[in-house]
Structure 1
Amino acid sequence: MDILAFGVQADEKPLMEKAFAGLHDIRCLDVFLTEATARIAAGHEIISTSVNADLGPDVLHTLAAGGTKLIAQRSTGFNNIDLGVAERLGLTVARVSYYSPYSVAEFAWTLAMAVNRRIVRASNRTRDFDFRLDGLMGRDLRGRTVGVLGTGKIGEAFTRIAHGFGMRLLGWDVAENPACLELGMKYVEKERLLAKSDLVSLHVPLLPATLRLLDATALRTMKDDAILVNSSRGGLIDTEALVAELRAGRFTGVGLDVYEAEAGLFFLDRSLEVVADDTLARLVTFPNVVVTSHQAYYTVDAVGQIIDTTVQNVLDYTAGRRSENVLVPAGS
């Protein structure tokens, strides 16, 4: 069976081809699934998509009309998929329910340390042989308070690192994680967490209930000198409100690996184009902000697990099996 994979990165392609070798033929495309590219899938019963694919109603109708039966998404998040429409069209949808939480947790800490210790500014200076320390002063994290919004697998891994730093631990989630409690975490209301934390890191999924979890009111609740890190989903933060707070001189640093309007920008080279997104353009100009392009998951370990699970999802589909990774089963 011939499988079409959208949005495959250059580093990812040989891993995909090796994983599917001897099982199914796979064609890897670097283009992302959008309304404009959906017709490419015509004739392919199985397609695989990336986290920034457009799987809204129009695209799903095009896929179904072209003969697609299985969508195997290579991510844990599925906020980009209209599951109700997929079900009505008889499309099977599967995702990767688990991969290395350490990849994201470690990268979140990379962002936190980069903005705290002004690593990007320091690196840019030394390239110009400017070795002054002016404006590079950071602060110790030991003894300070970290607030973790979302204490699932990734949040727990992030918390363990925070515990290693010797930080006070505050958590917020719909359910308390026993492992985090053993580390000394105290669960509090979101408003208290934001008001008391020197560092806030987001590790919740993007759902209707968490959309713009950090809105203008929530951002104003945070300490003026707090550090904010988001390595989960861009839609958790009201970015325009964040820009307003930054313009007011608030926050020691902000590290963002995700952006609420990243589709059509992230994973692509736009360096020779005029980017029309004024909010993003303003955001990247702040000296205390580091923006990366949704790469927190991008380790050989995590990507390998994502691909292996995608292969298994395809094998389960062709064998008529159903696993925990299936969001919309066949014939539902």
Structure 2
Amino acid sequence: MKIAFFSAQKYERPFFEQSLTGFSNIAITYFEQSLSMHTAVLAKEFDTVCVFVNDSVDKAVIDQLAIFGVNTILLRCAGFNNVDLAAAKQHGMRVLRVPAYSPEAVAEHCIALMLTLSRKTHKAYNRVREDNFDLNGLLGFNLHNKTVGIIGCGKIGQALCNILTGFGAHILVCDPNAQAGNYTITDLNTLLTQSDIISLHCPLNEHTHHLIDDDAFAAMKTGVMLINTSRGALVNSKACIKALKSQKLGYLGLDVYEQESELFFKNHSDDINQDDIFSRLVSFKNVLITGHQGFFTQEALTEIANITLQNAFEVTQGNSLTNEVL
């Protein structure tokens, strides 16, 4: 198998090269470019593409890949909302993903966002570096006894529930597939109205696009904290700005963003940001944004590399495909 590896980052290559030593029949060529109609030509002479969350794998791209003879799409992530599955099926392409690399990595990042926002440690860090030890403006709140609503309770949601139980939080879960656990299963409206903190962990699809909109914010408590480490388009960014301005939304922690494909995973420090919505979001003092790094731990990258290459190996062997999406 010859893999065209798109959106390659220097931090992930060592993990894939280490894992690759166990697969002699697989070769990888790394491309820093993200996959799109403009870069699909790089996949010529390859039978497989390996893509990440912000690569474009829509119908036009898939049609072009099929012309080049690509027959397999390997996702090195859990979500597959960026892949046109109908187009892939039309061309008989196999699509495989990494369903669970390290749920704890993302869940722990959620906690980091919650604690940083609630205790204002990022502001305290900057003050102390300037010899300013004034505590005014740094008043926080406990997670203990707070009601935390989790929308989507798959592996990451479950891991977050386990951590929050240790904090002594009251946990509400909204997920049609949720099983009984250390939380209360409820409907979306009840979760929105009762939660002090809301964390999103559901996939992005036609049912969840802009799940958090003007109506959702209207139902929430005043001063609520919202955390999103799942997919950016779960939240309507313009509605989010309105909620921040009205102070309905008291704290916002984002590891993902609706239009992140134009921003994240690249260094734009010498550029003028053309995204007015993103610029407005980062201007609020009660907003904390990280650049899609919730997955970014040694353990998670090791698992992503191992599972992605195991997926590739199963294809080469004609075995049943453990992590097949299509």
TM over 0.5: yes
Unaligned segments of structure 2, at least 5 residues: none
Q: How does 1:254-265 map to 2 (within 5 A)?
A: 254-265=252-263
Tell me how far apart the structure 1 counterparts of residues 13 and 33 of structure 2 sit (CA, whole Å): 13
Q: Which residue of 2 aligns with 1:149?
A: 151
1:201 deviates by 0.6
Is the 8 Å Cα contact of residues 104 and 231 (structure 1) preserved in structure 2? yes
1:208 deviates by 1.1
Q: How does 1:1-332 map to 2 (within 5 A)?
A: 1-21=1-21, 22-178=24-180, 180=181, 183=182, 185-328=183-326
Q: Give CA deviations for 1:19-72 in whole Å, capped at 9, x if unaligned.
A: 113342212222211222111111111121111110011111121112211111
Tell me how far apart the structure 2 counterparts of residues 315 and 168 of structure 1 sit (CA, whole Å): 44
Is the 8 Å Cα contact of residues 100 and 155 (structure 2) preserved in structure 1? no
Is the 8 Å Cα contact of residues 197 and 225 (structure 2) preserved in structure 1? yes
Quick one: percent identity of the two aligned structures? 36
Tell me how far apart the structure 1 counterparts of residues 277 and 151 of structure 2 sit (CA, whole Å): 24
State TM-score, norm by structure 1. 0.94
State TM-score, norm by structure 2. 0.96
Is the 8 Å Cα contact of residues 152 and 177 (structure 1) preserved in structure 2? no
1:273 deviates by 1.3
Of residues 229-238 and 247-256 in structure 1, the stretch that sits farther from structure 2 once superposed is 247-256
RMSD between superposed Cα atoms in Å: 1.3
Tell me how far apart the structure 1 counterparts of residues 248 and 131 of structure 2 sit (CA, whole Å): 30
**Runs of 4 or more above 4 Å deviation:** none
Tell me how far apart the structure 1 counterparts of residues 37 and 138 of structure 2 sit (CA, whole Å): 45
Is the 8 Å Cα contact of residues 257 and 296 (structure 1) preserved in structure 2? yes
Is the 8 Å Cα contact of residues 149 and 202 (structure 1) preserved in structure 2? yes
Amino acid at match of 1:303: L
How many residues align? The count is 324
Is the 8 Å Cα contact of residues 233 and 259 (structure 1) preserved in structure 2? yes
Unaligned segments of structure 1, at least 5 residues: none
Is the 8 Å Cα contact of residues 217 and 248 (structure 2) preserved in structure 1? no
Q: Secondary structure at the match of 2:241?
A: helix
Tell me how far apart the structure 2 counterparts of residues 87 and 229 of structure 1 sit (CA, whole Å): 35
Tell me how far apart the structure 1 counterparts of residues 141 and 212 of structure 2 sit (CA, whole Å): 24
